[in-house]
């Protein structure tokens, strides 16, 4: 029995890309445009994006919440995986970056499935949990307690531990939480790394591991993602 994952050389990464990634021209264009930004490394990879879309389809999700949209790559992956009556609620604080996302939602014809909420995502989640009647930006789709099929967490790492209990309350039983960057470039396993972001990701990883109310799998794809299914 082996506990080892295959080590990815550049050659193997290229092989995976060439033999599995089916990226449409608009997705590629968004990657190229984002590549010109100083923050381009925040964007998920096309391999990860395709994996996220597949998970959304496999789970049959109709209501998806994305925390951390940036220029929109993951949102395109989720929205294109949703059925026509599905909804993706995107949360971000940046109007500038999500303006780029909006452009591609329009260009890909996915706009009708996507809503954007600008502002602190912690506040947004709290509003969704508190509201008996939904605020304007949430009217027309019922995102509330135990209502969401899939959540993708990819925003400010320092707040990861604070997002977790709120997300669990918003998820339906059987719903799926996908947390990005759980390996944080390997720093989670290196005690010399004591940055607030690393500490917070470690804390969330430990909380999830101890939480018997969920099924879990930590998957070493991209920067590491955890799959968490609410029981």
For ligand SAM, the binding residues (CB under 6 A) are 42-44, 68-71, 73-74, 91-94, 97, 120-121, 154-156
Nearest to ligand SAM of 33, 156 (CB atom): 156
Nearest to ligand SAM of 89, 228 (CB atom): 89
CA-to-CA distance for 211 and 209, rounded, in angstroms? 6
Nearest to ligand SAM of 69, 80 (CB atom): 69
To ligand SAM, the closest distance from the beta carbon of 231 in angstroms equals 26
Torsion 163-167-169-174 (CA) sign? negative
Neighbour tally for 112: CB within 10 Å: 9
Count of all residues that appear for the chain in the document: 231
Token pair 């669990």 is found at: 168
To ligand SAM, the closest distance from the beta carbon of 153 in angstroms equals 9
Residue 225, classed as helix, strand or coil, is strand
Nearest to ligand SAM of 14, 95 (CB atom): 95
**C-alpha dihedral over 203, 158, 35, 68, to 10 degrees?**
90
To ligand SAM, the closest distance from the beta carbon of 172 in angstroms equals 22
To ligand SAM, the closest distance from the beta carbon of 76 in angstroms equals 8
To ligand SAM, the closest distance from the beta carbon of 29 in angstroms equals 14
CA-to-CA distance for 142 and 104, rounded, in angstroms? 25
Nearest to ligand SAM of 123, 215 (CB atom): 123
Question: What are phi and psi for residue 98, nearest 5 degrees?
Answer: -75, -15
């Amino acid at each position: 029995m082996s506990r080892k994952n295959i080590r990815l050389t550049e050659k193997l990464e290229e092989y995976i890309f060439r033999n599995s990634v089916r990226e449409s021209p608009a997705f590629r264009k968004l990657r190229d445009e984002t590549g010109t930004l100083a923050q381009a490394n925040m964007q998920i990879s096309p391999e990860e994006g395709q994996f996220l879309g597949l998970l959304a389809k496999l789970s049959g999700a109709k209501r998806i919440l994305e925390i951390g949209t940036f220029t929109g790559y993951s949102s395109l992956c989720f929205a294109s995986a949703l059925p026509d009556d599905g909804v993706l609620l995107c949360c971000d604080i940046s109007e500038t970056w999500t303006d780029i996302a909006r452009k591609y939602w329009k260009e890909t014809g996915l706009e009708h499935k996507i809503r954007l909420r600008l502002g602190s995502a912690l506040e947004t989640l709290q509003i969704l949990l508190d509201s008996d009647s939904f605020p304007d930006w949430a009217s027309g789709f019922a995102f509330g307690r135990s209502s969401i099929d899939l959540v993708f967490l990819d925003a400010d790492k320092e707040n990861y531990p604070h997002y977790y209990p709120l997300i669990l309350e918003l998820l339906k039983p059987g719903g799926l939480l996908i947390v990005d960057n759980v390996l944080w470039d390997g720093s989670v396993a290196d005690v010399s790394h004591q940055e607030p972001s690393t500490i917070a990701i470690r804390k969330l990883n430990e909380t999830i591991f101890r939480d018997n109310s969920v099924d879990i799998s930590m998957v070493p794809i991209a920067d590491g993602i955890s799959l968490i299914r609410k029981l």
